[in-house]
């Protein structure tokens, strides 16, 4: 799902100019640690902040010099991932969003937008 997500990414600027389509960095958990994902992000010039799972580290070390060097990982940036996780948890307080009862994607997205509005109004 990373390719469609990146193709739809557009963050409007505060001033004039085109929307940004390339984030500074992509922060993900260990499930997103794969060569394909890292290569796609590298091709687009996006910094990858994804830790390597233990099995990938062991495989690389087992191969020795042929395993290559470990991918760059910024632990300081990775600590900011909890903001996103907390946001998901806030949205999932609505049972309809958490369990995905809706059959149509448009209705589900409407629920997400409505929940975002209610969270925004509470602040």
Q: Is 26 exposed, middle or buried (0-12, 13-18, 19+ CB in 10 A)?
A: buried
User: In the predicted model, what is the mean pLDDT of residues 83-105?
Assistant: 84
Q: Kindly report, residue by residue over 9-54, the tens digit of the pLDDT.
A: 888 888 899 998 888 898 988 988 988 999 999 999 999 999 999 9
Q: Which single residue is written with the structure tokens 């997500």?
A: 5
pLDDT in tens, 48-72: 999 999 999 999 999 999 988 888 8
């Amino acid at each position: 799902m990373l390719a469609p997500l990146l193709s739809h990414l557009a963050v409007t600027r505060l001033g004039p100019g085109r929307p940004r389509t390339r984030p500074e960095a992509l922060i993900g958990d260990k499930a997103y640690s794969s060569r394909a994902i890292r290569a796609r992000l590298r091709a687009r010039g996006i910094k990858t902040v994804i830790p390597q799972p233990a099995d990938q580290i062991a495989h690389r070390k087992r191969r020795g010099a042929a395993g290559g060097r470990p991918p760059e990982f910024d632990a300081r940036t990775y600590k900011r991932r909890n903001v996103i996780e907390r946001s998901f948890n806030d949205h999932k307080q609505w049972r309809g969003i958490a369990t995905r009862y809706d059959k149509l994607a448009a209705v589900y997205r409407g629920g997400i937008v409505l929940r975002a509005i209610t969270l925004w109004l509470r602040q």
